[in-house]
Amino acid sequence: MLQINEKDTFIKNLYPMTKIWFAFWMVVGIFTFTNYYLSAVVFVAALILIYTEGLIRGFKVLILAAILLGVSLFMIQGILNPSNETVVWEVITGTRFVFYQEGLTVAGNVYSRIVPLIAVLYLAIRTLNMTELGVALNKAGISYRATFVLTSTFQIIPVLKKEMFQIINAQKSRGLNTEGSLLNRMKAFIPLMVPLIQNSMMNVQNQVVALESKGFNSDNKKTYYRDPQKRAIDTFIVLSVALFGVVGIAYRILLYVS
C-alpha cells in the first residue's frame, strides 16, 4: 500500500505536492465551470493518462460505481425532483414513470462534475507514494508528528488486514456462522471486530516504548531515506492548473454578477 505504483513514468516522478495541488485546483475548476464539453475533454484526457500509466485495471471498479451512481441519479432526479414540470419523455403512457426536464438538468450538472473528477483524482492519488508525500508535506512546513500519523496509518492497515483474516479463520473454525440471513451475519460482526480491536489496543503500549526509545520526541532534525526533488515542470504544472481554477472562480463570479 505504501508503494502503489513503482513504475518509472512521467506522472510517477512528479513532486508529490504537485499532485495534491493539481487535485485541489481541478476540483475548484470543474465545480466552478460545470460545463459538459470541458468535463468530457478532461475525462477523456484523464482516461488516456490512466491507461498509459497502467492503472486501468483498478479504475474499472470506479467506472462501474460511477455508472451505477449515474443510473440512480438520473432516475431519481429525472422522475422525482419536486420542481419537475416539463415532460421530456413518457416511458409508459398513463403511469407516473415520466422523465422531466428540470430534474434531468440537475442530474446532468451533477454528473458532469463527478465523472471527470473521479478520473482526475484517481490519476493524481494512485500515482502518489505515501512515504514521499509525508516527506514533501514535512518540507512544506507540516510537523513531523502530523505526517507520521499519515505514513504510519498506511503501514498499519495491511498488518491489521492480515490479522483480520487470521481472526476470521479462527472464529470460523470455532463454528462461527458468517453466512445466511442478515441477522446471522450481523451477529458474526461483533466476534470478529472485538478481538481485532483488543489486539491492536494491547500492542499500543509496546509501540509507545519502541518509538520513545528511538527518539521520536527528540527535537533534532529528522533524516529521510527517500528524498523527492522538485523540478521546473512541477512549478509549471502547479501554476497552470492554479490558473485554470482561478479563471473558473472569476467566471462563476462574473456569471453571478451579470
What is the smallest separation between the CB atom of 232 and another protein, expressed in angstroms?
27
Q: Which of residues 235-254 bind another protein (CB under 8 A)?
A: none
Q: Which of residues 85-144 bind another protein (CB under 8 A)?
A: 106-107, 109-111, 114, 117-118, 121-126, 128, 130
Region of 5-13, 39-47, 179-187, 227-235 interacting with another protein (CB under 8 A): 179-187
| Three cell numbers, residue 53 | 500509466
Q: Which of residues 42-71 bind another protein (CB under 8 A)?
A: 58-59, 62, 65-66, 68-69
Contact pattern for another protein over residues 186 through 215, marking x by CB under 8 A: x-xxx-xxx-xxx-xx--xx-xx--xx---
Question: According to the binding rule CB under 8 A, does residue 176 interact with another protein?
Answer: no
22 vs 234, beta carbon nearer another protein:
22
What is the smallest separation between the CB atom of 203 and another protein, expressed in angstroms?
8
Of 10, 44, 166, 185, the one binding another protein by CB under 8 A: 185
d(CA 30, CA 248): 8
d(CA 142, CA 133): 11
d(CA 176, CA 194): 14
Region of 7-15, 40-48, 161-169, 240-248 interacting with another protein (CB under 8 A): 161-169
| Three cell numbers, residue 87 | 415532460
